[in-house]
Amino acid sequence: KLKFQDVFIEPRVIHGLRYPWGWSWHYLDAAYAPRITGLILDGNTFKLNLRPGKKVGDTIEYDFMPKFSDITIENNAITFEVDSGFKIDLYRELGSNRIHIYGGLGINYPGREIPIALVDPLQSHCELITNLFGPETRTTILDHNDSIPEIDLIDSIASPQLFLILKEMNYNSENLYAEAIINVLGQSDTTPSSLHHGIQIEKEILSRLGIDTSSIAIYDGSGLSRFNRITPLAMIKLLYALYHSRYRDHFLAMLPYGGKGTLWYRFKQEGPKVRCKTGTIYGVSCLSGYLLDEKRKIAFTIMINDYLKDRKSIERWQEYLCRRFLTP
């Protein structure tokens, strides 16, 4: 087992807000919207495993990993009759890792692993390091005024290529990746990383592409903020510019297509003829990308706000529109 006297956590690559403006309260325990930090491990989440009890009426069984000491579970869920399926509601108390489980599971349900966002990822990472290297290891989270002693580089890990990170981000709507990227987008030798600087860089890029940014509001990198605004015309101009740029092939390869990524249950018959990105928050469903067939290439965007119908019916209507423009 490796032994270290000191371990320093460097979180200062990310500055500013814990959560961007316009995020909803119900995001706070969601694995798709974890707190963004300079050090990210396991998506800044822990895994809660749920399975039915031994007989109908028993409380369900649970386990979680890693075994962080500040996680407590209030289990109020019970085991239902055969074929009752998954009927679980989870609630994490504000400002703590205390989780309440309500509802239940059918007795023949196979179980499910649910990732839950950590309330303070850096403190949890400290505990993880202590458990890994032993209690004699001092773990320090560096603050903005801290410095570390002279050290010799023994080894390092290089991240995957940015193209692969962006492809994963788009294919599976990895919001944490998007928030991390926009936070470091504006970083330079003289400018610290921040969400504000990242948004400035994004708007500068859009302006260079001939897009009027006065009608655009950007509050985060993922699109989860309800304050974000963009017009369909601006989106089409962006898609057109990217298609006619030297990055076209790379950009198309980053977009999910029918039957893959967030489109895994959509456009299965059309496959690569439909390459587009979904955009979904409560009451909002958007679809933007390209329709590509043998005769023509179409950039499209469909933005639906404040809908009251169920999401699946909205998605079916979007798919109907796209198919109308594909060559029979």
Residue 1 lies in a domain: no
Q: Per the structure block, which two tokens stand in for 6?
A: 């000191």
Better pLDDT: 265 or 187 = 265
The Cα–Cα gap between 118 and 34 comes to 7
Better pLDDT: 258 or 139 = 258
Residues 224 and 273 grouped into a single domain: yes
Residues 282 and 167 grouped into a single domain: yes
Q: How many domains in the chain? A: 2
* pLDDT attached to residue 188: 77
At 36-57, the pLDDT tens digits run: 888 899 999 999 999 999 999 9
> In this structure, what CATH number is given to the domain that contains residue 240?
3.40.710.10
At 139-177, the pLDDT tens digits run: 988 887 888 778 788 888 888 999 999 999 999 999 999
At 55-101, the pLDDT tens digits run: 999 999 999 999 999 999 999 999 999 999 999 999 999 889 999 99
pLDDT above 90 as % of the chain:
74
- The 8-class DSSP code of residue 63 comes to E
Residue 135 lies in a domain: no
Cβ atoms < 10 Å from Cβ of 183: 26
Residue 203 lies in a domain: yes
* pLDDT attached to residue 2: 66
Residue 231 lies in a domain: yes
Note the Cα 278 to chain centre separation in Å. Answer: 13
The rounded radius of gyration (Å) of the Cα atoms in the chain is: 23
The Cα–Cα gap between 287 and 19 comes to 25
Residue 316 lies in a domain: yes
Question: Coil, strand, or helix at residue 189?
Answer: coil
Residue 95 lies in a domain: yes
Residue 152 lies in a domain: no
The Cα–Cα gap between 222 and 156 comes to 29
Residues 309 and 167 grouped into a single domain: yes
Residues 183 and 271 grouped into a single domain: yes
At 108-136, the pLDDT tens digits run: 999 999 999 999 999 999 999 988 888 88
**Which range among 6-10, 21-25, 73-77, 312-316 shows the weakest confidence by mean pLDDT?**
6-10
* pLDDT attached to residue 263: 98
Q: Per the structure block, which two tokens stand in for 242?
A: 């990217």
Residue 146 lies in a domain: no
Q: Is the pLDDT of residue 17 over 70?
A: no
Write out the residue range of the structural domain in which residue 54 sits. Answer: 6-121
Residues 237 and 106 grouped into a single domain: no
Residues 30 and 179 grouped into a single domain: no
What pTM, to 2 d.p., does this model score? 0.91
Better pLDDT: 112 or 11 = 112
Residues 92 and 175 grouped into a single domain: no
Of 246, 254, 112, the closest CA to residue 177 belongs to 254
* DSSP letters for 239-269: HHHHHTSTTHHHHHHHS-BTTSGGGTTSSTT
* pLDDT attached to residue 45: 96
* pLDDT attached to residue 47: 98
* pLDDT attached to residue 1: 59
Asked if 238 contacts 212 with a C-beta cutoff of 8 angstroms, the reply is: no
CA distances from 190 to 112, 145, 186, 187 (A): 47, 16, 10, 8
CA distances from 158 to 8, 47, 105, 318 (A): 19, 26, 42, 40
Average pLDDT over the chain reads: 93
